[in-house]
Amino acid sequence: MRPTTAAAPAALAGSIALMLVATPAQAAEPSRTAAGARQAPAFTGPAAVLNVRVAANTPPATYVVGKGDSVWAIATRFGLRTSDVLALNGLAASSIIRPGQVLRLTGAPAAPAPAPEPSGGDYTVQKGDTISGIASRHGVSTQAVLSANGLVWSSIIYPGQRLTIPGSSAPTAPAPAPVAPSTPPPAAAGGYVVQKGDTIYAIAKRSGLSTAAVLDANGLTSASIIYPGQRIVIPGASAPAPAAPTAPAPPAPAPPSASGAYTVKGGDTISGIAKSHGVTTQAVLGANGLGWSSVIYPGQRISIPGAAAPAATAPAAPAPPAPVVQLSATLDAEQTANAQLIIRIGRELGVPERGIAIALGSAMQESSLRNLDHGDRDSLGLFQQRPSTGWGTADEVRDPVRATKAFYGGPSDPNGSRTRGLLDIAGWEAMTFTQAAQAVQISAYPDYYAKWEQASYTWLAALG
């Protein structure tokens, strides 16, 4: 009858077999006991080698995730089960790991997740956290956490950021006595300086507004990132009017008569001209054979189609345009490096200071000065340039040096005449900051570049 042996890992069994064949002389002769029973042979030299090999296969306590790693590959590399590595780190099979994240490979499995926090709780993001991991630990779905914070699947979270955790299905403690609601924000439009841990969703909720309203007021999308120190425009809240009505304001001057004309001034936009004349933007575009991407210049004559209201006998002078709310932001290391690159390339190409400031403001508005791998439709990179409109391949528009040269344009434009950079636009020096940026970027929000003008000159002075 053949003796049975305990199953051993293939690598270990192979090592033992190799040692037995390679160094049989080192095996001591079996000895006998007083009763004549044979004892198992004692291995001297090979035993030390065997111990070293086992120690070499012992996994480290922690492992720093590298580029291209997966939980399965890490577990296989150290002879562990994928399920054990997931359990040790409180991860699910659908969890995403990222380079730089630290995983535990030894020790007891992560303690069971604490009971879900009551509805409306907050959580501060820690290093290595993922949305799915946070949701799992709080007993709610990933989609619920994304929705509660105005995030999407491609959104990025950072250590120190505070996330709102929606109520889970676990029973909560008895509800405390109701408290008076906090004082709603002023109805008038204003601004808010982003604090550490803020989200657009939380800011909108505290201001009594929808997330979409705050995003739209600031030219942001659900994938946009905000930073401490950034100034957010808060549109007028829908607070009830005071009980005692004030005296009615005098009626606004009627818009000019039909078939009038207007001379463009510095800072004008088609939408602003249309609004001041009581007509739609599309009507002004149509009356002048313009499109949404057309650029207007100071001194240009614009035809104003007839407005619905009757013309005033003596129309008052148009009111001055509302001042642009200037935003500011403290740049982190990644943003600072990208800003310095834009400044350096501008200097190498001989771009005037104002042109470099326009490039900085454009990149801040488009990508928050980050080399993004996502954006609206196929927009990518620092300037959110689109491969489908001729700015280059996906890899080319994500090359920050090439993308910056393409924005500046001119003789060094890597796209040649396929796209139009700032230096290719006749008269850009006489345009306003936002007009010059819009002439290159052709954005759906042409007025939003202006809010970064002061900050761009500040960054240029500090980093250039």
pLDDT tens-digit profile of 360-409? 999 999 999 999 999 888 999 999 999 999 999 999 999 999 999 999 99
Strands 162-165 and 121-124: what pairing? antiparallel
261 strand-pairing partners: 303
Q: Which secondary structure element, helix H or strand E, spans residue 261, and what is its range?
A: strand 260-263
Q: How confident is the model at residue 418 (pLDDT cuts 50, 70, 90)?
A: very high
220 vs 215: CA distance, rounded Å: 5
Task: Inform me whether the pLDDT recorded for 78 exceeds 50.
Answer: yes
Task: Inform me whether the pLDDT recorded for 132 exceeds 50.
Answer: yes
> How many CA within 13 A on the CB side of residue 437?
31
Residue type, 360: L
Residue 150 in tokens = 């105005």
Residue type, 248: P
pLDDT of 88? 87
Task: Inform me whether the pLDDT recorded for 198 exceeds 50.
Answer: yes
Q: Report helix, strand or coil for 225.
A: coil
pLDDT of 120? 52
Contact 127, 150 (CB under 8 A): no
Contact 277, 256 (CB under 8 A): yes
Residue 347: other Cβ atoms inside 10 A: 12
Q: Which secondary structure element, helix H or strand E, spans residue 104, and what is its range?
A: strand 102-104
424 vs 410: CA distance, rounded Å: 5
338 vs 170: CA distance, rounded Å: 46
Highest mean pLDDT among 238-252, 299-313, 442-456: 442-456
The percentage of the chain sitting over the pLDDT mark of 90, rounded to a whole number, equals 28
Task: Inform me whether the pLDDT recorded for 39 exceeds 60.
Answer: no
Pick the closest to residue 63 from 110, 9, 101, 114 (CA basis): 101
> Mean of the per-residue pLDDT values for the chain?
76
Q: Report helix, strand or coil for 260.
A: strand
Average pLDDT over residues 120-141: 83
pLDDT of 27? 39
Tell if the pTM clears 0.85, that is, is over it.
no
Q: Is the C-alpha dihedral spanning 381, 346, 439, 418 positive or negative?
A: negative
pLDDT of 23? 41
| Cα–Cα distance list, 212 to 117, 144, 446 (Å) | 27, 17, 19
437 vs 443: CA distance, rounded Å: 9
Average pLDDT over residues 17-44: 41
Task: Inform me whether the pLDDT recorded for 411 exceeds 80.
Answer: yes
Average pLDDT over residues 106-129: 66
pLDDT of 25? 40
